[in-house]
Copies of this chain bind each other. A is one copy, B any other.
Amino acid sequence: MSTTPADHTPRADGRADDELRPVKLTRNWLDHPAGSVLVEFGGTRVLCAASASEGVPRWRKGSGLGWVTAEYAMLPASTNTRSDRESVKGRIGGRTHEISRLIGRSLRAVIDYKALGENTIQLDCDVLQADGGTRTAAITGAYVALADACATLGKTGALTGSVAAVSVGIIDGVPRLDLPYVEDVRAETDMNVVMTGAGSFVEVQGTAEGAAFSRAELDALLGLAETGCAQLTRMQREALAGA
């Protein structure tokens, strides 16, 4: 299905430019929450837990509508060099805030609040090991945990679709899919794309890390992301079809 053109350096892990890393979705990794998934994108491992509780935040009470929210965090030893614990620093960094908000928005894009009723599902995405693409792995895994939590609640109707996410980027002038850490740090442009299972866009976040990018490069990256998300959607479906 995918090939590496002869005219540029191959990827360190031997993948084609439009090829995902090995992806693994392990459901029910935890005993307590309503849904839980250990998601792996190559060396990136994120534990996604979906805790369900009756009731909604104060500002939503009596509306008949549910709520879905998310928190993302990295374990200190998940990164190449140990990172300080945010609880010890006493404040959450901008990057953490940003990703937590992104995950929450992405999941809410496929939720029918009315069908969920006045219930809250809280997603916790904790990065156990980081090797690039932690936020996209988190969204992809969190969707599966969310689906399990909806089922546990008897609210499968609360899901209007599925979401998956993948990173794409330009390395040495070549657009590539699903960047591991070694590629991510060298990328001139880095984009995270969240899509529904039906092929529409939920979030597009592209950043020029080095040089600004042209409209043509942007188009190439969007194309790669469409390919990647379609495959992830298939894997999510298979995982949910399992026991």
**When each residue 148-167 of chain A gets 1 if its CB lies under 8 Å from chain B and 0 otherwise, what string results?**
00000000000001000000
Q: Do residues A88 and B71 form an inter-chain contact, with CB atoms below 8 A?
A: yes
Which B residues touch A81, using CB under 8 A? Answer: 32, 51, 53
Say yes or no for A115: interface residue by CB 8 A criterion.
no
Q: Do residues A75 and B47 form an inter-chain contact, with CB atoms below 8 A?
A: yes
Selected interface stretch from A1-9, A11-19, A214-222, A231-239: A214-222
Q: Interface size of A by Cβ–Cβ distance < 8 Å?
A: 66
How many Å lie between the Cα of A82 and that of B33 in the bound state?
Answer: 8
How many Å lie between the Cα of A155 and that of B27 in the bound state?
Answer: 40
**When each residue 188-202 of chain A gets 1 if its CB lies under 8 Å from chain B and 0 otherwise, what string results?**
000100011010111
Of B31, B71, B203, which is within 8 A of A76 by CB? B71
Which B residues touch A32, using CB under 8 A? Answer: 77-81, 129
Say yes or no for A117: interface residue by CB 8 A criterion.
no
Number of copies: 6
Q: Do residues A90 and B91 form an inter-chain contact, with CB atoms below 8 A?
A: yes
Say yes or no for A36: interface residue by CB 8 A criterion.
yes
The verdict on A36 contacting B201 (CB below 8 Å), with A97-B98, A109-B208 known, is: no
Say yes or no for A206: interface residue by CB 8 A criterion.
yes
The verdict on A30 contacting B201 (CB below 8 Å), with A98-B94, A105-B207 known, is: no
Give A contacts to B, CB under 8 Å. Answer: 30-33, 36, 43, 47, 49, 51, 53, 71, 73, 75-82, 85-98, 100-101, 105, 109, 122, 124, 126, 128-129, 131, 161, 191, 195-196, 198, 200-208, 211-215, 218, 222, 226
**Seed contacts A31-B43, A90-B91; 17 additional CB < 8 Å A-B pairs:** A30-B129, A31-B131, A51-B76, A76-B124, A97-B97, A195-B212, A196-B212, A198-B212, A201-B212, A201-B213, A201-B214, A202-B208, A203-B206, A203-B207, A204-B218, A205-B206, A218-B222
